Structure 1
Amino acid sequence: MKTKVIKYSNNTIKKMQFETDFFELRDPRYPLRLRFHKNREKASWYFVQRAQGKSYFKKIANWPILSFSDIQANLSTYQVKFTLNPDSAISSFFASVDSLANWYLQRSKTNASISNLRKDTIKWAITRHIIPLIGDLQITAINRETLESKFFWPMQSTLQNSTMRSVWNILKQLFTKAMFLKLIEAHELVALKFSDFIKEKIVAEPTRLRATQLDEVHKNIKDQKPSIQCLIILMLAHGTRIGETRQLKWDYFCFQSNTLHIPGKITKNGDELTVPITDKIVKLLQQYRKYQCKRRYKGVYLFPGIAKRKPVSAKKSHSMVQKVSLNNWTSRSLRKIFRSKLLELGVDSEVAEMMINHRRGILSETYIHTTVPILKRQALDKYHTWLNDFQPGILSLSIK
């Protein structure tokens, strides 16, 4: 078996992947060998131990499931393990919860199939809750008792049940993924449920803004910058989430068919959303684009950030909403008004769910390819007519 000596790094290994004059990589700095499989799509990491003048190879993981950075971060653990017990075998690559959590966090950062919002949620759950609470525990020490005393009990004093459930789901996901890839042994955590620890039902957050209060919203909007006005109006008009609204680009709009296509990469659930645009919104967008051009901005975003090359940040977009709400309601309140008013106006519940981009069942999938575009447009026409009748001028900008 031909061996090539290199300095290990993630980029160097990728470059060497399809060079066929060797099958093994070695770095003199580490007791590690990387052996490529026959098709060179995968490889195996081996820990090399010297004893009585011989080299003993112990397989510890597969590449590219675990990169060199992953191996390097946990190498000292296995050096100690093999020194104390030379005959021990690798049954779990990760020893502690923090090493497992950091691996999952790095993996999620490069996962193109999940949205940036989801990546931020994973990072928040791992860095703010999972690692601080149970990161120092060995994976073998995680059981019902430690989860109750060290994970759920501290969280329940500061977090709502719905927030705790989000953190729990991410903890469960990282254990499940590691088990599937055989990076840890079978673990009882993946079979546990949130209700095993928290018995109280999660109560929906009460409505903080009602449709009857839209006159106050309209009054507060008028005194704000056009960018703030446009952000609020688009969320109120279409029920879109703030995360996807703040990242809208001009080329997501088709003014020939009067539709807005929001790609899955910026939606919360990863599903693309198509939104009909009514004549009132077309006029608003034309007015807003003209305003941007007068201010010498001809970039791609409706709501550019400070650097102009990126959209406004999540933190900044929430502060934009707060300038109108005065901290009395949030962007979600606008979405709730949209959803509830659609039902009051007689819109089919299945259509209403699709309009706010909730996950759809088989029945709804049948709807999509037949009548949904027409039903969506009819629903928005009805809703926007009601908005304009109830609060005249609320779907237009006030530019001074």
Structure 2
Amino acid sequence: MRTTGEVVRWWLSRIEGDRARSAKYRDSMGSLMRRHVLPRMDKVPLRKLDRVLLDDKLVFPMHQELAPRTVQKALQGMRQAFRMAEGQGRIENNPLAGTTFRDFYKGKLRPKPAALSRVDLPGLVAHLVEVFNEDPAKGMLPLMMLAHGTRIAETLMARWSHVSLDERVWVIPEANTKSRREHVLPLTPQVLGLLARYRQVLPDSRLRTPWVFSVRGGGRMADTSAHALMREVSGRQWTSHDLRKLMRSSLADIGIDHMVGELLINHTLGVTTETYLTRDVMERRREALERWHDRLDELGFAGAHGVKVAAPALLSSGAKPERAGDCADSRVSPRGG
């Protein structure tokens, strides 16, 4: 390999065929490198590539047009490409060795502000319940994400076989998670009721598919279609990730322990921290989700799932609430388990 473009294209051919990486990562990185990196760096000879040239031809021009995090991601992609090429002996020396984004940018990288805050929760719940009651196929996805804090790609890959009524859990296989580890979410009576109502209105053709979020023809809803649905439901005011952020930030308001909240959204805590979780992890997750869904009920969630659960979420004492009512009927899973 003699040019920067050869290294980048070779690397893209490798990652785009790597199923261990998420489809979102492969697509976004491919788009970023082809739209911004290759047009600027394609013909640059490797023997001339250094930090000065990289700054003049790529980093500085990108800073004039794009957000710092986008520039950072482009540089990360180039570093990975050159590191892999060097590791396989395809180039003799890595001209980007030791280069970091901080060599070019000293500002603070701030996270993207959330479009939804705690004060938006009452209105959001009322809106999503209204959408669900008008069209369950449209309202189910945002409600499930708000209820569990799952990522949109993980949620879309849910199969009915992942839902167990016997164990009252939703299992997200490790192949479907960003963390690449299995994620098990307890199913509360409210969610079982929501799933039952959802299945009641699905046409038979979609009930016969393995996917929870299926489309005409039997396949699962595509990521692009799901994001378009979110734009429609939100009026372009918030995204699927904003639902996840809102769920996580709201857990502290109802007294959920920080570590339990991190486990619920499948963040890695580290081996040492997880080792010292003294109580059964699944029990703590279930209690946290019951409390969260009780809070949603206080804001009108019951209008979607139709299950009677008498349990205040905002307790003044540490007493465990008493629950009333039973879980939804067994039609949630076509396999009954």
Normalised by the size of structure 2, how large is the TM-score?
Answer: 0.83
User: Structure 1's 269 and 171: CA in aligned 2 closer, same or farther, altered over 3 A?
Assistant: farther
Conservation of the 8 A alpha-carbon contact between 1:114 and 1:270: no
- Asked if structure 2 preserves the Cα contact closer than 8 Å seen for 1:259 and 1:275, the reply is yes
Q: Structure 1 residues 107 and 215 mapped into 2: Cα distance closer, same or farther (>3 Å)?
A: same
Name the counterpart of 2:300: 391
1:331: which partner in 2?
240
Among 162, 184, 207, the residue aligned to 1:252: 162
Question: In the aligned structure 2, how far is the partner of 1:334 from the partner of 1:270?
Answer: 22
Amino acid at match of 2:302: G
Distance 2:258 2:179 in 1: 19
Distance 2:218 2:304 in 1: 26
User: Is the helix fraction higher in 1 or 2?
Assistant: 2
> CA RMSD for the aligned pairs?
2.1
For the 8 Å contact 1:116–1:266, the answer to whether it is kept is no
Aligned to 2:11: 104
Match of 1:145 among 52, 66, 76: 52
Q: How does 1:130-169 map to 2 (within 5 A)?
A: 130-169=37-76
Is residue 273–residue 357 contact of structure 1 (8 Å, CA) maintained in 2? yes
**Where is the strand percentage greater, Structure 1 or Structure 2?**
1
1:145 partner letter: V
Name the aligned partner's letter for residue 123 of structure 1. Answer: G
Aligned AA for 2:208?
K
Counterpart among 242, 267, 275 of residue 358 in structure 1: 267
- 1:193/1:296 CA distance change after superposition, 3 Å: closer
Structure 1 residues 305, 101: closer, same or farther in 2, change over 3 A? farther
**Mapped partners of 2:2, 2:181: distance in 1:** 36
Q: Measure, in 2, the Cα distance between the counterparts of 1:368 and 1:307.
A: 45
Q: Which has the larger radius of gyration?
A: 1
Per-residue CA deviations over 1:346-399 (Å, capped at 9, x if unaligned) read: 2221221121122331223315796221111111111111111133436538xx
Q: Percent identity?
A: 28
State which drifts further: 295-304 or 374-383: 295-304
Could you say which residue in structure 2 is the equivalent of 1:34? Answer: none
Q: Which runs of 5+ in 2 are unaligned?
A: 307-337
Q: Which amino acid aligns with 2:49?
A: I
Q: Any conservation in 2 of the 1:388–1:395 contact (CA below 8 Å)?
A: no
Distance 2:263 2:10 in 1: 35
SS of corresponding position for 2:25: helix
1:204 aligns with 2:114: no
Do the aligned residues in 1 keep the contact of 2:206 with 2:215 (CA within 8 Å)? no
Structure 1 runs not aligned, ≥5 long:
1-93
1:121 is the counterpart of 2:31: no
Instruction: For residue 282 of structure 1, give the secondary structure of its aligned residue in structure 2.
Output: helix
Shift of 1:212: 2.4
Q: TM-score, normalised by structure 1?
A: 0.70
Residue 175 of structure 1, aligned match among 76, 82, 86: 82
- CA 1:96 to 1:225, structure 2 compared with 1: closer, same or farther past 3 Å? farther
Conserved? CA contact 2:206–2:214, under 8 Å: no
